[in-house]
Amino acid sequence: MTRMSQALDILQHTFGYESFRGDQAAIIDEVVAGRDALVLMPTGGGKSLCYQLPALIRPGVGIIVSPLIALMKDQVNALLQLDIRAAYLNSTLPHDEVEAIEAGLLAGEYDLVYFAPERLLQDRTLQLLERLEIALFAIDEAHCVSQWGHDFRVDYLQLNILHERFPAIPRIALTATADDRTRKEIVTRLQLEQGKQFVDSFDRPNIHYRITRKDNPKQQLLRFLQSEHKGDAGIVYCLSRKKTEQMASWLTNQGLTALPYHAGLPGNTRHAHQERFLNEEAVIIVATIAFGMGINKPDVRFVAHLDLPKSIEAYYQETGRAGRDGLPATAWMAYGLEDVVKLRLMAESSSAAQSHKTLERHKLDAMLGFCEIDSCRRYAMLKYFAEDSPEHCGNCDTCLQPVETWDATNAAQRALSCVYRTKQMFGVVHLIDVLLGKDNIKIQNFGHHQLSTYGIGKDLGKDAWRSVFRQLMAKGYLTVDSAGHGSLLLTEFSKPVLKGEEQVTFRKEVAMSKISTISPRNTLIADEDQDLWQALKACRTLLAKSQGVPPYIIFNDATLKEFIDHRPNTAEQLLRLKGVGESKLEKYGEQFLRVLRENEIIGVGDNGG
């Protein structure tokens, strides 16, 4: 049997998938042959199989470096369900358990063992590895090596030691998020210059991207959850720790199961909240970016942002935690003027080196531009990652509800002129008051009622002017004073506009009541199949609780949907479905077939009577 026919056999009979996707076969062939590889593959694209299969084919044990304890535990549980010999070593394990796993390694009892990077780099561990037959080293979440990213892990910088001490063992580095700069940094720091690079499509076609203007974001979020994702698990991202707690409490008061998660909470609280999210249905985590990397839960149906991410990379990575199972999911964000001011201020007042600040400013500019575009969001995001795609995806807000634009040149000139006339010392609220000709103490005290720009904006309302200032900042015509006062400043790009040498086109604001709320791809299960869907999920939950694992470890939602779509009534038919391998068929096949048969009997009785 050739190595690739062996790989396909394991894929079909152990993992329950009929064929490889994308570059999986080529990557597996490369690593099984003993060569290094760098793999960029979107979340849910099947990265894990790219090292799990070679580890099962090559002699010895696969050593996997993983940055988060939750991910290790999750992946090991999933492998054990398939009767694959797996374990993990990290700081959560008691000493006697560590010793037992190390003894098992020496005895050749494992196919794959996951290590936290700090554990792997200990002299004691490295000496242990030198006594083993090692199939490969896999470095998961390899973007953690980049000092430019928010997921940076200092221990990852030392992982080049694997190449130096074990030069004959193939290494595979994997990540879902890396622009060209980060990719080059991964190659350099991990000494992967000789490794082949595999860059899969960044596209996640099952995710519906939608960005809406902030207008009472709490109520907007609640409407979104109640109308589109009732009973679904999801993540809500906020910028501050305080806001995560307030929002989780408010959602709970609205009858939802919402839990906060941020780095300032006690470790046992974070762990408890994460475990509930993984093990229960319909739990919402309200989190800072401290939550998410390495979360393996495939049935996250939505990711919502109540604050603007700092970069398109961060947005892509965070939204990518939705819909890992390939079923429809939503990436929803409420975005407003205060987001622009806050993040601009944070970028300008940072104590980081100037080169780093410049890079972060460019990333933020790209994110702001992404929010304000009037063309396909998916096309723009993929273009950012240097990937060509159709200019109309049909599954983002700007494709489903095309954006109207208007010639905002005159309004932009008036706004920029007001910033200039008030000596670039004031924030948005005051500038709008001047344009609208408001009579208040602040305007009187500063003599701004005597300016030529006083009252020249009465043809537009307050919300319209907020939109103008937001888009002026998003497009780089204005920036924020780094002194921390939130004053708006003109940039070099504003001069041609003020001189009438450049035309400005903005998105036209749409009344919130006219904005479509529901994605056409959002319905997972037809109404007539809801009873069967709930019965299958109940069966899954019962089995999961009896074994102390998350429900999706038994079967994920995509596999349950296969049951509904194909209605198998024999073990042979069940085995043909995606996600059902021989081990799971033996363990769970009869229980799920029983649920399917019972539902068919009920259905026939109902139809007949």
Angstrom distance (rounded) from CA 68 to CA 91 = 11
11: how many CB neighbours lie within 10 A of its CB?
22
For residue 293, pLDDT beyond 90: no
Supply the DSSP symbol for 529.
Answer: G
Question: In this predicted model, what pLDDT tens digit does every residue of 517-559 receive, in sequence order?
Answer: 545 444 688 889 999 999 999 999 999 999 999 999 999 999 9
- Residue 137: enclosing H or E segment and its boundaries? strand 134-139
Place 608 in a pLDDT band, splitting at 50, 70 and 90. very low
Percent of the chain with pLDDT over 90: 69
Choose the weakest-confidence range: 297-306, 416-425, 594-603. 594-603
Place 606 in a pLDDT band, splitting at 50, 70 and 90. very low
* Structure tokens that stand for 193 in this block: 């210059």
For residue 516, pLDDT beyond 60: no
Q: Select the more confidently predicted residue: 356 or 587.
A: 587
* Structure tokens that stand for 598 in this block: 């019972």
Given this model, what pLDDT does residue 600 score?
77
pTM score, whole prediction: 0.83
Q: Give me the domains of the chain, ranges plus CATH numbers.
A: 3-199 (3.40.50.300), 207-400 (3.40.50.300), 405-509 (1.10.10.10), 527-608 (1.10.150.80)
For residue 395, pLDDT beyond 60: yes
Mean pLDDT, rounded, for 424-446: 95
- Residue 127: enclosing H or E segment and its boundaries? helix 123-129
Place 408 in a pLDDT band, splitting at 50, 70 and 90. very high
Angstrom distance (rounded) from CA 285 to CA 70 = 15
Supply the DSSP symbol for 396.
Answer: B
By residue count, the chain amounts to 609
Angstrom distance (rounded) from CA 496 to CA 327 = 47
